[in-house]
A and B are shown apart, each in its own frame.
Chain A
C-alpha cells in the first residue's frame, strides 16, 4: 500500500491562494471555512529587513494523529494508505477532534459534522492528483508516496536544502513537509503570537 504525503516548496510558492480556491471548489467547502489555507506573515524592522513567510495550513495526515483516538464514534479514521478521513454519516459534531488537533486544521461544517482535508481521496481513487496540487501554478505543491523512492515527493524532499514539519515537538509525525523555508514555522508562529499579544495589549499594528 502507498503511504501518501505532501510537501510545499516555499522557494516556489508565491502565495497566490489558487490551491485554497481549487480545494474549496472541488470539495464544496462552505463560504467562510477552509480545508486548506495559506497564511501570510510579513515581519521586520523596516526596508532591508523584511521577511515573508507562507504558512500552508491543511490536515497533515499525521502518522500518529491525535484526532483519531479522541473520536467517540470512530468517525475519524486512518485508511490503509495513510489518509486521515472523516465518515460524515457517523460524525456527531462533538468537535473533540478539532480541539485535539495541535494545528487547528479541522472545522465544524454548518451541516453538523467536522470537515477537513481528505487529500481529495475521491480524485486519488480515480488516479488523479489532489485539486490543490493540480491547481498550483508554480508546482510548489508536491504529492506522492513516501514509501516510493522514485515518487516526486521523495525526490523533492531529498533535494531540498531544508525540510521542516509543523510543531515536531508534539510528536504527531505529520506527513506534510515544508521545504526550503527562509522563515521557519516556529519563527512565523512566534511573530504571529507576539503581534497578537501586542494587539491585545492595545499597541495596535498597521
Chain B
C-alpha cells in the first residue's frame, strides 16, 4: 500500500470538506443567509467530515470509508433532493420545509446555475469520487 498515495487522497478529502464547511459558514454567519431545513441536514453531514478526515490523515486510516462513507452518501442524497426542489422538479410543498425559510429560496445564482445546493452537491460528489479513488488505489491494493 502506498502511504504517499493514501496521504494525498485523504488530504484532498479533508480540503474539500474544509472548504465546503467554511464556505457554508461564510454564507450563514457573514452574509447572514438563514439556512433552510435541507441546508441544515447537508451541514450536519458535511461538518464532521472535516474532523474525520483530519484524524484519518494522521493515522492513514484505511477504514476511512466506513466512517466517512455513510456521511458522504447521506449528505449527497439530501443535496441531490435539495437541487431537485430548487430546479422545481419536486414541488416545494412536498419538501420538509414548511415554516421559516423555504428551501426553494435562491440566495445566490452565479452564472445562472451555481446555487448554494449546487455547490453542496458538487462538494459531496467530489468526496464520493475521492473515496472511490481511495478504495481503488489504497484500500483494494494489498
Partners in one complex: no
A-side residues, CB < 8 A to B, are none
B-side residues, CB < 8 A to A, are none
